[in-house]
Structure 1
């Protein structure tokens, strides 16, 4: 079992949005350390079809954007810098629904994986555990975006307690 380093705090939103929009609802999530200090913020506007999120640092400066591409049968995201240049892709293989590979210039550089939390937690709560691996020499910008990607992936693919391929 890994060490819990961060906690996610979602700003309260509309109950109706949560009920009817589900994975499409807008959200704002602060990622805080164990001392309660904000490290990054993920904001997702309402989009009827496409999925995107912006990642901000602790000072409110845009770090980058995550954009999901419509693709059958795979799950594909582009991760862009604040100026819009592509930094890396996230690719969800068909036969590994809880895994997203981090690809940079065509080479796998890391992974985001949803971890099994136990039957009770998986069945009766919205809480999920994820593991993120990336090169230790990556710049803070890329590490921040990889961590922020976890939350968009969770909303889009795992929000309802089962794996969602197309949305």
Structure 2
């Protein structure tokens, strides 16, 4: 698994997806996304966090539909920010491939008053993540948009153009009485058609009630630009922190 992976380890032993080879014009590491139409994100359960209610750094395994690991994701954040701000903390997510090379970096700047959808037209009140691939090269960002109630997001490319819209449900939560998957629909820029989906999957009563370790599915057209697929992956993490990275129900 990713927790024991070292650069240069055998992909076969670890169940990693084999690299399809370099693709001209595509940042190294994004070629894994070129030929797939779905990603499955599994957040790792942190026993210390479950027992103490103290937020630890999140870690995720990103797999394809065959169960092969595509990426491993680990969070970089300040300890006191995790204690004081919890799910509203700023963070860096380092997304590495099967050779331990960081291929995508996702940054969410901390904002004092971000989160409320009513005021998300103002930059200071909108959550957003900046996405780089490779680190240092901006390929786009995901930004919360103003809405009367439902979660709205824009996926924006490196030129500042909105290329996709995300529309979430009125109630983006999962509790004992709400056990179905929570779906965020991904629409074309003109909102004329649905092109993908980000789904928070129901993890079972014990997992949902005792931990904040979440499972997501991200689907998109196979022929979508791999950079935009990477932005959708980053959007899934933003959705996780905003709506599902909550305090545990046990003390």
Q: TM-score, normalised by structure 2?
A: 0.59
* Distance verdict in 2 for CA 1:14–1:60, change over 3 Å: same
Contact residue 121 and residue 127 of structure 1 kept, 8 A: yes
For the residues of structure 2 that align with 1:86 and 1:23, how far apart are their CA atoms? 26
Q: Give the Å deviation of 1:37.
A: 2.6
- When the two chains are superposed, the root-mean-square deviation of aligned CA atoms in Å is 2.0
Structure 2 counterpart of 1:88: 164
Q: How does 1:61-100 map to 2 (within 5 A)?
A: 61-94=137-170, 98-100=182-184
Contact residue 172 and residue 243 of structure 2 kept, 8 A: no
5+ residue gaps, structure 1: 163-167
Structure 2 counterpart of 1:7: 72
Q: Secondary structure at the match of 1:5?
A: strand
The structure 2 residue matched to 1:46, chosen from 80, 95, 110, is 110
Bigger shift: residues 1-10 or 58-67: 1-10
* Distance verdict in 2 for CA 1:95–1:10, change over 3 Å: closer
The structure 2 residue matched to 1:33, chosen from 97, 107, 111, is 97
5+ residue gaps, structure 2: 1-39, 41-64, 115-125, 174-181
The structure in which a higher percent of residues are strand is 1
Structure 1 counterpart of 2:235: 149
For the residues of structure 2 that align with 1:70 and 1:9, how far apart are their CA atoms? 29
Relative contact order higher in (CA < 8 Å, ≥ 6 apart): 2
For the residues of structure 1 that align with 2:101 and 2:208, how far apart are their CA atoms? 28
Q: TM-score, normalised by structure 1?
A: 0.86
Greater gyration radius: 2
